[in-house]
Amino acid sequence: MRTPVTAVAAGALALALGLTACGSGSGSDGDKLVVGATPTPAGEVLEYIQKNLAEKEGLDLQIREFTDYVAPNTALQEGSLDANLYQHTPYLKDFNSSKKADLVPVTEVYLPPMGVYADSGKKLQDVTQLKSGATVAVPNDTTNEGRALQLLASKGVIGLKKGAGANATPEDIAANPKKLTIKPLEPAQLPRSLKDVDAAVINNNFALDAGLSPKEDAILLESVKDNPYNNVLAVKRGNEDDPEVRKLAKLLKSPEVKKFIEDEYKGSVLPVTTG
């Protein structure tokens, strides 16, 4: 998901506590499917489906927009939504654990990729070009710090302890051949830190807000393949095979939606084409 400014998300994730639903209505009403979403990109993707694809599929899609990450899951758990689209599975699992909820993913839809960026003056083309002793800033919240370290480890610039997962911290670094200094910072500060560090691992939304292009400017960018942070269509357990949910899941994975994401976001959001 391209995460909203309050993020992150999911993504990946800073959690706002207020509910600000822009739509009306509650959960299932006849054949209507009421879906919660953050405005960008989830709301835009759903609006494209609503205007261009839903009628042909026989789907009456109703969209409710939220500006935080807690409320869409709370509404889904309580039944005022039939589904939501805005989060990745690690966030969903953490919500289930902390709120005693019972939400499940239906299908992966897109990835707002986290990337590693360097100040243009440093002229780095690849993360492996970081010099010995370089300083790399990472998000300081639990989910995104672990995600950032996993991204660095994917190119071998650090190695993590066996079993270090989504909540990895700098203490889980088992190999550091370049003797990198890992500097945790508030996620929103990371773009501004680029002049003071050698590189920074930045969430999609903060990169975009700072005028960075994930596709053009990142020296390392996440891939959708086997990525646990792909954003998912989610429902309350037991509703995975609801006919209206399956219609939406089919449309979300359609060639038309794939093309919309590619044309609209130009590499800043990546469609998941299988799963």
- pLDDT tens for each residue of the chain, 275 residues long: 434 433 334 443 333 333 333 333 345 445 799 999 998 899 999 999 999 999 999 999 999 999 888 999 999 999 999 999 999 998 899 899 999 999 999 999 999 999 999 998 888 999 999 999 999 999 998 778 999 999 999 999 999 999 998 889 999 999 999 999 999 999 999 999 999 999 999 998 889 889 999 999 999 999 998 899 999 999 999 999 999 999 999 999 999 999 999 999 999 999 998 65
Which helix (H) or strand (E) segment is 213 a member of? Answer: none
Q: Are 1 and 201 in contact (CB under 8 A)?
A: no
What count of other Cβ atoms lies within 10 Å of the Cβ of residue 155? 14
- Cα angle value 155/273/264 (rounded, 5°): 90
Closest listed residue to residue 61, CA positions, set 82, 87, 40: 82
Q: Which domains does the chain show, CATH number per domain?
A: 32-113+226-271 (3.40.190.10), 115-221 (3.40.190.10)
Which helix (H) or strand (E) segment is 142 a member of? Answer: helix 142-153
Residue reference for tokens 């009306």: 24
Residue reference for tokens 């560090």: 197
Any idea of the CA torsion for 131, 191, 148, 216, to the nearest 10 degrees? Answer: -80
Q: Are 170 and 137 in contact (CB under 8 A)?
A: no
Closest listed residue to residue 14, CA positions, set 189, 151, 155: 189
Q: Are 219 and 125 in contact (CB under 8 A)?
A: yes
pLDDT tens digits along 56-104: 999 999 999 998 889 999 999 999 999 999 999 988 998 999 999 999 9
pLDDT tens digits along 98-136: 999 999 999 999 999 999 999 988 889 999 999 999 999
b/e string for 108-117 if b means 16 or more Cβ within 10 A? bbbbbbbbbb
CA distance 114 to 72: 23
- Burial environment of residue 56 by CB neighbours within 10 A (0 to 12, 13 to 18, 19 or more): exposed
Tokens read off for 16: 């706002």
DSSP letters along 90-128, please? HHHHHHHHHHT--EEEEEEEEE---EEE--GGG---SGG
